[in-house]
Chains A and B, each alone.
Chain A
Amino acid sequence: MVVFALFIISKSGGLIYNREFHAGLQKLNSNDLLMLAGSFHGMHAITKSLCPNPPVPPPPSSTNAASLAPSPFTHRATGLEVLETSQFRMQCFQTLTGIKFLLFTEPQQPNIDTMMKKIYELYADFVMKNPFYTVEMPIRCEKFDRGLDGFVKLRG
């Protein structure tokens, strides 16, 4: 279970967090990282419009209690979610607030969804509940780093 890296992209497309968990990855300088984040943000938006299946409108009387909170993505096309190559797999998780979590792992990594949810939980706890964090700014929260360390090391 190997996690290579994690990127967090803000609502406006700027890279606010990047972290590498695996030694021996090719080093990118900070400019390249920002370009990578910006390009992905744009590509994500483009792929949203390219979705071939027309969005399914919600049934008129959808008052089923089991159909959870209204997600804007059940009847709207979403952007790029998974990018898989022979060397790595990149998964993008977009939150309801427009934050994108990019997780780079090895190609045959099971349980990516649970990992994403756990990382989102760590983000909601140690970044959003931090009084000294301004939203959409680069993340410099020690407890978030430590939480991620503990979580990734535990899995790997």
Chain B
Amino acid sequence: MSNNAPQGGGLRYPSNKKTIYDRNLNRSKNAELSRAAFAYLFIEMINLAQKHAKDVGDLEKRLNNQGYPIGQRLLDLLLTRSANPLASIRPTRILTLLQFIAQTLYRHLFGRPADALERSNEDPAQYLLFDNEPIVNTYISLPREMSNLNCAAFVAGIIEGVCDHAGFATEGVTAHSVGNQDEGGKDAKGQAMWPGKTVFLIKFKKEVLEREEILGRG
């Protein structure tokens, strides 16, 4: 497919004049990406974020911003592609939205659903999505000076994009490592079962909760 040189930027048109908007939406439905290819790209993304970041929090914020537009686009794409026409409506309840994220979105991105979904006990506006082993972190070993960084902030950005775009405004979605917590999830040796276990804290805004309550009543 030969490309004409762009005249001062903008879309490049192949010689048959088809743009990306003319492609069938389902064309890349089952397309897979090699984990190595993503890993190398992710290295550069992290380096780019690190260049201007002042500290770990800023770095996570930048990774979050890199994932946000992906979430926005994925919401529409996945709803359009869903096989069941009844299921291709935008989720209107919090639980439906979270199920969509934990099942459909996760399966599209990582080939498996998320591991657990909980509502926080301390804060009713906060929901927790657990992932025992985020795929984006498979090859990353954190240096000691950055041990509180979690590169799944990128995935948190994707989730935030989906939530915001679906009409459930969030204060923020953050990724936290809970791999070494002293919980019931330890094996016989006392080692943490899932050292890379990550929880995504999704904090919805007040208006969303009020709306949810009204919908619940009616």
Q: Check B139–A132 contact: CB distance below 8 A.
A: no
Q: Are A132 and B146 in contact (CB under 8 A)?
A: yes
Please determine whether B36 and A129 come into contact, CB atoms closer than 8 angstroms: yes
User: B139 near A130 (CB under 8 angstroms)?
Assistant: yes
- Bound CA span A130–B139, Å: 6
Cβ of B139 and Cβ of A142 under 8 Å apart?
no
Is B36's CB under 8 angstroms from A140's CB? no
**Across-interface contacts of B143 in A (CB, < 8 A):** 132, 140
Of residues 130 through 154 on chain B, the ones whose CB sits less than 8 Å from some CB of chain A are: 139-143, 146, 151
Secondary structure dominating the interface of A: loop
- CA of A61 to CA of B172 in the docked complex: distance in angstroms? 62
Residues of B within 8 A of A21 (CB): none
A126 at the binding interface (Cβ < 8 Å): yes
State whether A131 touches B146 (Cβ < 8 A): no
Question: For A131, what are the chain B residues with a Cβ–Cβ distance below 8 Å?
Answer: 42-43, 46-47, 140, 151
- A117 in contact (CB, < 8 A): no
Segment 118-141 of A: residues with Cβ below 8 Å from B: 125-126, 129-133, 140-141
Measured between alpha carbons, how far is A133 from B151 in the docked complex, in Å? 15
Q: Bound complex: CA of A126 vs CA of B139, how far in Å?
A: 5
Instruction: Considering the complex, give the chain A residue whose CB is closest to the CB of B137.
Output: A143
B192 within 8 A of A: no
A104 to B36, CA, bound (A): 29
Contact with A along B140-183 (1 / 0, CB 8 A): 11110010000100000000000000000000000000000000
The answer to the question of B21 belonging to the interface, with a C-beta cut-off of 8 Å to chain A, is no
Q: Which of B40, B46, B47, B141 contacts A144 (CB 8 A)?
A: B141
Chain B proximity of A139: nearest CB distance (Å): 10
5 inter-chain pairs at a CB distance below 8 angstroms, sorted by A residue, are A129-B139, A130-B43, A131-B43, A131-B46, A131-B151
